[in-house]
Amino acid sequence: MIDTITYLKTFLRDKNVASITPTSSVGVKRVCRKIDFDSSSLIIEYGPGTGVFTNYLLNNMKPDAKLILIELNKNFSSILKKTIRDPRVVIVNDSAANVLEALRNCRESQADYILSGIPFFWLRNGLRDKILCNTYNALKIGGKFLVYQTCFQTDQHLKVHLDRLFPSVSCKFELMNVPPMRIYEATK
């Protein structure tokens, strides 16, 4: 409930938030079941908001794995800095477009998984393409880009852009979330 009020207030000031409520715990589990936590040493999350995915990831990640959070909204970034106190986490207040710079600053080269809740349908084509291209380069061979988008985002066409870069892309409609969402799984 507190999270929903925070989302609503933040959404009214920043359209990039694109949601008035965090993803449900069922939705979080449906996306994260695609992750092999035992073999992951680096995960990146774009648009963590107040951290619903972050907490699930931290509960399942290995003790020596690392998680980089890239959040554009200043309010959400400062909430994350206050609430997430885990030595495995680095919080970056920036755009996902700058993921390669974030990796360099963390002295890392490529990630096993990148999760994204950012609203691709809001983005200018140039920004969308930059994020997708840099995401591809930020992943290891065999690494996965997992994207979740609410069903209100009529961006079936995101698959077309993922298909241009990734050798394997699947898209699934997930009804067990409020609201229902699409989950894309793109493998490098």
**Which residues would be at the binding site for ligand SAM (CB under 6 A)?**
16-19, 22-23, 46-49, 52-53, 70-73, 76, 95-96, 117-119
Work out how close the CB of 133 gets to ligand SAM at its nearest, in angstroms, rounded to a whole number. Answer: 14
- Is the Cβ of residue 40 or residue 149 nearer to ligand SAM in the bound state? 149
Check: CB of residue 103 under 8 Å from CB of residue 124: no
Residue 126's SS3 state is: helix
Check: CB of residue 111 under 8 Å from CB of residue 143: yes
Q: d(Cα 165, Cα 79) in Å, to the nearest integer?
A: 34
Work out how close the CB of 110 gets to ligand SAM at its nearest, in angstroms, rounded to a whole number. Answer: 19
Work out how close the CB of 163 gets to ligand SAM at its nearest, in angstroms, rounded to a whole number. Answer: 21
Q: DSSP letter string over 20-76?
A: SSPPPHHHHHHHHTT--GGG-SEEEEE--TTTHHHHHHHHHS-TT-EEEEEE--HHH
- Is the Cβ of residue 39 or residue 151 nearer to ligand SAM in the bound state? 151
- Is the Cβ of residue 42 or residue 52 nearer to ligand SAM in the bound state? 52
Work out how close the CB of 99 gets to ligand SAM at its nearest, in angstroms, rounded to a whole number. Answer: 9
- Is the Cβ of residue 39 or residue 86 nearer to ligand SAM in the bound state? 86
